[in-house]
Chain A
């Protein structure tokens, strides 16, 4: 494929067709592409693995898809320093780091590093390791005007200059094109065990509190709650052979549960069929989200859960979940929905600090050409 090509019928973003597709192999090529796009006033959406193109709102306009499928590979893996640098198009589950790991769970097979950072997705183990924002230590971004810029560096500890990596993380590609990311790594734990317990929804709050009280440092505390019926709680512990045996046994006792070697099949997978939501609440309010007409799954250990909203009743259920989350001090975002639903529900819900966010967007992308309209408040 050439650097630039005409778009095909498949090259759409949330239903909006593009005119061109560009597939740069290097940051310099990406800069050339974006400089040309700026000259011709093209609206741009970045595509990685294409696993989340249906998320957010459709772009207000779209000319060019920048595809990162050739912008791949680990540039550097300094095992002794527990860091690595990889190009944005590298698939998260294709990373081979020996006895070390980038502790970011991939919730969608094929998701790239760039897409994971840009969408700010996370999985069960965020409880112990944090999310992309916490693990990212440096970033290379081509700005909408084509300039190549860096923030952070290659060392874990660094407070020189603004931490722009955090600004780009979760920005949905509205501020520029991420071409390279540097991350801190963690050693792979020798062994792991999961403790599971299925219980009525009414008991989940007490069980979660019991896990918190026990000083066993779980890597993840997940729940899987169908729209009705009992809820499964699964706790992951990782570490040494002796340590994991002891910690799992303690959890087994506290939960009245069962130790399994493997995580359950639903682990780290989004629960939705067509309408998917992300719900965030303070820890003590996680049980509030159960029994509201949607299946809920996710990190009860951090208060970040996902809901499968039935299409037929979507507006009412979205409203109910959002009211509950907001009352608790959290948020409820519709990540993906078919067009008919998207047109009648508020996808993002209330967002504080929107005026300031618009000012940031205006500075980074004054022409509003990058993923226009995809993000909060029509950014």
Chain B
């Protein structure tokens, strides 16, 4: 019997046979997440029904020295939930209870497998919603959102998952259940919850999450502005920010992205646009009214040739449909594509877009640009045909060059998709060895055995037993100090 067989037998006895998947064909359905060109068939899949079962699973892994990877809906775009061939994939899709909606406390408590949009659906009858709205919100899970610190179109004004999670029950990598944060704010002690959110499954698995609910805005107004060029759309974005307006969202698409969206979902964006901006304002009606006129005037001043205001929720949804479907839509105009996720200071947008264009031309590939213009989060889509020899490699080079541009402009290698498997190699370009070793200090505090989602985020594995550098020999051990 292999070690995994032992783990499987133990969990079958403890949790029941229906929690375990070890049929080769069935295991194959879990071989990748949303980043499908990385594939690993997991050694074993476990589907716990509750926190206790999840903790039992982790304990079984720890005692057998087997790595484990958590997976929610599998929509991640950085390979964060890529399985381990000799490890256990813990899938939270059977933990889908909305435990409580407490509008008087502006909180909801949910299990990790709950779909993002379902939190909002549960809260809306009470006049509330859950603000973080990644484009995949109809299928992505809250547990995955917590692991990735997911953003969304509206995080310019409302922040990210980390700003909307106040508590989590977590199975630590040694199989203990701990409460981080809670229903009340500012839990005393280290903000371990803040460190946990966005740790990509390397510090444990959330088994119950307490989220902040946001009061529904009284008014929402959405503008679709068409510009001849991305430069002008970028200038309009800058003008809006400079005027002291904080829109709920400012999204930009360039001509190629518009072409793809039209082909896929017929969103009816103005013909001949070199760029469109979707600008959304929300809040008290009188505030929105005052600022909306200002935003419209600023877009016109920077050369918008068509301004459409959503007349009703249906038209608003149509504006957003083009944007939210953009990633999948490029499949209509290209057999293969890479979704990139990088961040630049927003003011560098025109310069970086030109540089991306130059790099793409030099490599003979096309790049469609979709981005959260308000916060400088770029999602260039590098188009290629895997059937043409060398094209995939050239696309990969362009994708890497875009990341270099982001770093050169003082930005980040990822704004919301995470580092995962895909970008671990870029981490040393953004952080020094000392920076990365400091992150390892946190990982080692949670996971000294290195079993929680190994191989993700960090380019080189580091054993936690190593004595920290410059640490004097003969110092008392922590145990002696307490």
Contacts and interface: CB of A to CB of B under 8 A. Distances in A.
B414 interface: yes
B153 to A, nearest CB: 12
Contacts of A153: 410-412, 430
A130 B163 contact: yes
Contact of A329 (B182, B188, B475): B182
B389 interface: no
A240 B478 contact: no
Contacts of B283: 217
Contact of B190 (A146, A331, A333, A360): A360
Contact of B162 (A38, A163, A376): A163
A356 B446 contact: yes
Contacts of A215: 215-218, 284
B441 interface: yes
Contacts of A159: 148-149, 151, 160, 198, 412, 414-419
Contacts of B413: 160
Contact of B184 (A154, A216, A239, A303): A303
A143 B415 CA distance: 26
A284 B471 contact: no
A81 B432 contact: no
Q: Classify chain A: how many residues form its interface, as a range.
A: 35 or more
A95 to B, nearest CB: 17
Interface stretch (B52-60, B315-323, B339-347, B354-362): B339-347
B430 A160 contact: yes
B104 interface: yes
B241 A281 contact: no
Contacts of B446: 356, 359
A304 interface: yes
A156 interface: yes
Given A160-B430, A161-B431, A217 B215 contact: yes
B187 interface: yes
Given A162-B199, A169-B194, A378-B482, A186 B242 contact: no
B178 interface: yes
Contact of B187 (A41, A150, A209, A352): A352
Interface in B239-267: 241-242, 244-246
A247 B442 contact: no
Interface string A132-143: 011000000101
B478 A247 contact: no
A209 B195 contact: no
Interface stretch (B34-42, B286-294, B302-310, B380-388): B286-294
Contacts of B291: 240
A169 B290 CA distance: 37
B293 to A, nearest CB: 11
A225 to B, nearest CB: 18
A162 B439 contact: yes
Interface string B409-447: 011111111110001000100111011111101111110
Contact of A376 (B149, B189, B443): B189
B375 interface: yes
Given A167-B194, A362-B445, A149 B375 contact: no
Contact of A360 (B148, B163, B192, B197): B192
Q: Which of A148, A209, A280 has the most CB of B within 10 A?
A: A280
Interface in B423-482: 423, 427, 430-432, 434-439, 441-446, 457, 468-472, 475, 478, 481-482
Interface in A10-59: 38, 41
Interface in A204-248: 209, 212-213, 215-217, 239-243, 245-247
Given A157-B372, A283-B106, A38 B470 contact: yes
Contacts of B5: none
A356 B172 contact: yes
B185 A161 contact: no
A360 B104 contact: no
A80 B238 contact: yes
Nearest to A350: B188
Contact of A247 (B160, B284, B438): B284
Interface string A324-352: 01001111010000000000000011011
Q: Which of B179, B192, B444 has the most CB of A within 10 A?
A: B192
A334 B151 CA distance: 36
Contact of B244 (A188, A282, A304, A356): A188
B236 interface: no
Given A362-B445, A366-B475, A351 B189 contact: yes
B172 to A, nearest CB: 7
B155 interface: yes
Given A167-B442, A243-B290, 14 more contacts: A80-B346, A81-B346, A120-B186, A130-B159, A130-B163, A149-B432, A150-B435, A159-B151, A160-B413, A163-B195, A169-B194, A170-B190, A212-B106, A243-B284
Q: 8 closest A-B pairs (Cβ-Cβ)?
A: A166-B194, A187-B244, A243-B287, A330-B184, A215-B218, A284-B104, A158-B412, A80-B347
21 contacts: A80-B242, A81-B347, A149-B434, A151-B435, A157-B376, A159-B412, A160-B431, A161-B427, A162-B442, A163-B149, A167-B192, A215-B217, A281-B184, A282-B102, A329-B184, A353-B179, A356-B172, A356-B178, A375-B189, A376-B188, A378-B482
